[in-house]
Copies of this chain bind each other. A is one copy, B any other.
Amino acid sequence: MAERFFERLALVGIGLIGSSIALAARRSGAVGTIAIATRTPTTLARAEELGLGDAYFADPAEAVKGADCVIVCTPVGACGLVAEAIAPALERGAVVSDVGSVKAAVIRAMAPHLPEHIHFVPGHPIAGTEHSGPDAGFAELFRNRWTILTPAETADPAAVERFAGFWRSFGAHVDTMSAEHHDLVLAITSHLPHLIAYNIVGTAADLESGIRSEVLKYSASGFRDFTRIAASDPTMWRDVFLNNREAVLEMLGRFNEDLSRLQRAIRYGDGETLYDLFSRTRAIRRSIIEIGQDTAAPDFGRPH
């Protein structure tokens, strides 16, 4: 039988990640009931239409009453305000978490508001798509993907382990690390790739209008891959860059140095430097496929 980790789960924010958690938790039987709160009435109504929860609240403080697990699923920039709003209503011993793509800044924003009598276990599921909102969720989103937890060193190991079990019931793998380390690793695996994708799509959008329509027609030659990532939610991503500045600037610095070297190689016709790099990078793709983090099918298995 499936294990029940919590009696009542409260989700504050019910977009892609919140709705995927709701669907996954329902399917795995990891929780008894699900309470949902979100800011906008139409979003809440849509969540109810989709049957994502058992009870729906406009006020997040109402939603967390009686919940032994609370997960904040809003953009990173809203986490502090949500923590402030729910703090007085949190149950003793509840696990309180989030799913923000940045961890140190979220902890700085939330922790001061949270009472001593709860277990704060910040989290980040390394899974997503370019879509957002409650309709975008699906129960399989977290399967075979990692969820990173960044509890304080003083956190109760039993509470952390219980919360890890909850995530594992969705088919996720769980890693624990410091918030600072998380932010550095995600700066290179996620934040910089998004920045660069947004940037090149922006560069193309600014081209003379004659060329612009051709950019769309001929996008299958590489460009279209970048447009997927650059179609991600603007609020979410603005908040990520505002809240992980140091690590992103550090990785961007390295990227720029490396790009200058390539630029020079192109300018001076240095084929060897180009060939060397282009051969090294293939091995990384192979490793990612080997560890099951991407499909081996050509072109991501897109229909042809």
Chain A interfacial positions (CB closer than 8 Å to B): 101, 126-131, 136, 138, 140-141, 143, 145-146, 148, 175, 184-186, 188-207, 211, 214-232, 234-235, 237-238, 241-242, 245, 248-249, 251-252, 254-256, 258-259, 262-263, 265-267, 269, 271, 274-275, 277-288, 291, 293-295, 298-304
A-B complex: 3 closest residue pairs judged by Cβ atoms: A190-B221, A234-B278, A129-B298
Q: Which residues of chain B come closer than 8 Å to A259, judged between CB atoms? A: 195-196, 199, 252, 256
Query: For A101, what are the chain B residues with a Cβ–Cβ distance below 8 Å?
Result: 221
The answer to whether B245 touches A252 (Cβ under 8 A) is no
Closest to A244 in B: B266
Structural contact, B146 and A275, CB atoms closer than 8 A: no
Give the number of times this chain occurs in the complex, counting copies: 2
Residue of B nearest to A141 (CB): B304
Query: A143-B304, A215-B189, A284-B216 given as contacts; is B221 within 8 A of A249 (CB)?
Result: no
A275 touches B238 (CB 8 A): yes
* Given A130-B298, A198-B277, A282-B189 contact (CB < 8 Å): no
B residues near A224, Cβ cutoff 8 Å: 288, 293-294
